[in-house]
Amino acid sequence: MKRTMAIIAALASLAAGAAVKQGEAAPDFTAQSTKGEVKLADYKGKWLVLYFYPKSFTPGCTKEACSLRDGYADIQKAGAQILGVSLDDVEKQKEFREKYKLPFDLIADTDKKVTRAYDVLGLGGLVASRYTFLINPEGRIACVFDKVDCPGHKDQVLEELKKLQTERK
């Protein structure tokens, strides 16, 4: 089963459509999360790391989530919040968050509205493709990661976030 899920996650990354592009306005959303209802507007005026992943508890998704967890304090220090998104239901997202002690919220995008809005629905609509969007305080896509290094994703995000913030000064 684990091998099958890993294959599905890998294929999902390959099957992604054309995601929202850098410079575009971040698509607005309201969704159910592990902490209740969440909206993009909740992050207005802040940097947001919005990351999409295929499935909770799969090897790659777990490595990615744990990498962002391990870098959470540094990412927060850099002025950003983190929000994860998959098609898993709220209960599974809560279990995933609790088991791996994730300090950030996870969206349960069971109706696929957020994933479709960001154009990252993959594998025939079965999973979210692995993408991360850095959204600037003005609500625009500042960076798109379409090649995510799961175990080193915190480093990818921090490096780009610091670069973008330096360019803004």
Q: What is the pLDDT of residue 91?
A: 98
Q: What is the pLDDT of residue 18?
A: 61
Q: Which residues are catalytic?
A: 61
Query: Which amino acid makes up residue 116?
Result: R
CA–CA distance from 144 to each of 2, 102, 110, 162 (Å)?
28, 22, 23, 15
Task: Report residue 152 as tokens.
Answer: 């080193």
Structure pTM? 0.88
Name all domains of the chain by residue range, CATH numbers in brackets. Answer: 2-168 (3.40.30.10)
Average pLDDT per 10 consecutive residues for the chain, totaling 169 residues: 51 55 96 97 96 97 98 96 98 98 98 97 90 97 96 96 87
